[in-house]
Chains A and B, each alone.
Chain A
């Protein structure tokens, strides 16, 4: 059963606008959440993480928001750039394993 869900397979955003990628989870025991970016023929690259005791973490253009009561997190990218076009994976940490969603393919158009 999928404990981490990314319900939008794809998203298209204009350059300069905000990209919002969403993720839902079912297991309340997850203690950390992470976002990874993946380009074709490369492994996932770590972007940003957030502890379950926080509700926001910011790193440059990337901000992750966590809503524990709704078991929902989102990644905001502002402003979006063409180089951000990639597949984004949401992951949740359960002891030593990362549980991944299926990914959302982001396309940033000029």
Chain B
């Protein structure tokens, strides 16, 4: 399945953070979502063949990487208090609709 690390993270406003994801074996597409408390997940961006393949309404300080070994990263610079949320990674096969989610990383910004 899809795994994410770390499980929980506490950062201070202005810092930078890197979250990691390992996709399901055989999947070539990874998407990242932000889920604030009481809300549904919101699409941040998607990567396919190590290139960004679509982006939601998030500022450039949210960036990502996808590696050839099925792993990926979400980087957030200049953290703000509103960045506190559950960050979900989802993997899929390009051309299919279903995305398979990891357990998420809970980020708290103080």
Query: Which positions in A face B, CB cutoff 8 Å?
Result: 4, 6, 32, 34, 36, 41-46, 49, 89, 91, 93, 95-103
Contact = CB atoms under 8 A, between A and B. Distances in A.
Interface stretch (B12-20, B36-44, B59-67, B74-82): B36-44
Contacts of A46: 98-100
A44 B54 contact: no
A96 B90 CA distance: 12
Contacts, number: 56
Nearest to B35: A100
A97 B46 contact: yes
B40 A102 contact: yes
B2 interface: yes
B54 A43 contact: no
B95 to A, nearest CB: 10
Nearest to A6: B40
A41 B98 CA distance: 21
A101 B42 CA distance: 9
Contact of B41 (A32, A44, A49, A93): A44
Interface of B: 2, 29, 31, 33, 38-43, 46, 48, 53-54, 56, 88, 90, 97-104
Given A96-B31, A97-B56, 17 more contacts: A4-B40, A32-B97, A34-B97, A34-B98, A43-B88, A44-B41, A44-B88, A44-B101, A45-B101, A46-B99, A96-B29, A97-B46, A97-B54, A98-B31, A99-B43, A100-B42, A102-B40
Nearest to B29: A96
A103 B56 contact: no
A95 to B, nearest CB: 6
Contacts of A102: 38-40
Contacts of A103: 40
A96 B46 CA distance: 7
A4 B31 CA distance: 19
Nearest to A93: B97
B98 A49 contact: yes
